[in-house]
Amino acid sequence: MDEGSRIADELGSMLDALRGVAWPARHSVRGAAAGTHRSRITGMSPEFTEYRPYRQGDDPRRLDWKLLARTDRAYLRITNDRATLGTTILVDASASMAYPVITRGKWAMARRIAVGLAAVAHAAGDPVGLIVPSERGAWARPPRTRRGVVGEIAHLLAEIEPKGMVELAPALALSHRTSRLVIVSDFLGDLDSVTRAARERVVAGAEVHAVHIVAREELDPSTSAFLATDPERPDVMRPLVDETRAEYVAAFSAWRDDLANAWRGVRASYSQLVTDEVAAQAIRRIVRPATHTSVAQ
C-alpha cells in the first residue's frame, strides 16, 4: 500500500469513528441561517416551545396573530431558534511542525485534527473553511457547506509541506467573517501576536479554540546524547545530555503551563494533543462542551 492510500484509509477510519459527534457552540450564535446552534435572533424557528404574554418593547412580529384573533389576547410565540456557525481552521505549516524529521508526527497529527474537526462541523450543517499560512502567503478556502468540502480540505493539506518560518497572526485576519476559529499549531512562533489577534476575535463575539500539537519526543526526549536542532533555524544547535535533559523537561513543562494560561487569558479554549494519541479521541476532547483547557495525559 502506497503512502497516499495509507493516509486515505487512516482518515476514513477516523471519520467513521466521529460519526454522530456534536460540536455545540460555546455561546448563542448571531446568525439567521437555520442550523443546529442556539441563535441570538429569536422568533423565526418552527420549533415551538411556549407562549409568553406580550410586554411593551417586544417585537410585534413575534406575536401569534391567529391566537390574538381567537382570544383577543396578545401572546408571543417562543421558539428554539437555531443558526449555523461558520468555522475556519487555521493550520500551522512552519518547519517546526515537520518534527520529528523521520515521521513528521506533528504535521500528520495536525492534518488529522483539521480534517476531523472539519467533518464534525460540516456534519452539523456548518460552513467550514481552511487557512494554511506559508512563506509565500496563505493557502485559503473560505467556509462552505457544499458536499465534498471536507475532502477538499484533506486534499489541500496532503499537498502542503511544512517548512520555513511562518507568522500565524496576519492570517487570522482572513477569518474575520467566521464565528468559530480553530488554530492548530505547536505555538513555537509568534505567540504574543497570535493571542492578541485571537483576543480581538473573541471580543468581536467569535469563539476561539487553540489546539496545541506536541510530539511525544518533545515530552520524553531520548536519553542518548545528541545535538538538538531548531527546525526553523538549522544553524542553532544545542547539546542534550543527561545534565541538560532534566532542565529541558522542566522548562518545556513550565512553558506549556504558561501557554495554557495565555490562551485562558484571552478566553479561548486550549487543548494539548500528543502525536501518539488516537485522533478521534483527541477531537472528542476538543469539541466537548464547556471545556476551556484540555491536556492529554
Output the pLDDT for position 46.
45
Mean pLDDT of 11-22: 88
| Residue 132 burial (C-beta neighbours within 10 Å; 0-12, 13-18, 19+) | buried
| Residue 113 burial (C-beta neighbours within 10 Å; 0-12, 13-18, 19+) | buried
Give how far Cα 294 sits from Cα of 192, 266, 271, Å: 21, 16, 4
Instruction: Measure the CA–CA gap between 46 and 40, rounded to whole angstroms.
Output: 15
Each residue's pLDDT tens digit, 126-181? 999 999 998 778 888 999 999 999 999 999 999 999 998 889 999 888 887 788 99
Each residue's pLDDT tens digit, 177-234? 788 999 999 999 889 999 999 999 999 889 999 999 999 988 887 665 454 555 555 5
b/e sequence 41-55, b meaning 16+ C-beta within 10 Å: eeeebeeeeeeeebe
Locate cell 486534499: which residue? 155
Instruction: Measure the CA–CA gap between 197 and 92, rounded to whole angstroms.
Output: 15
Omega of the bond prior to 100 within 30 degrees of 0, cis?
Answer: yes
Helix (H, G, I), strand (E, B) or coil at 193: helix
Give pTM, 2 decimals: 0.77
DSSP conformation class of 13: H
Helix (H, G, I), strand (E, B) or coil at 256: helix
What domains lie within the chain, and their CATH numbers? 3-28+85-295 (3.40.50.410), 42-80 (no CATH)
User: Which of the four pLDDT bands, split at 50, 70 and 90, describes residue 43?
Assistant: very low
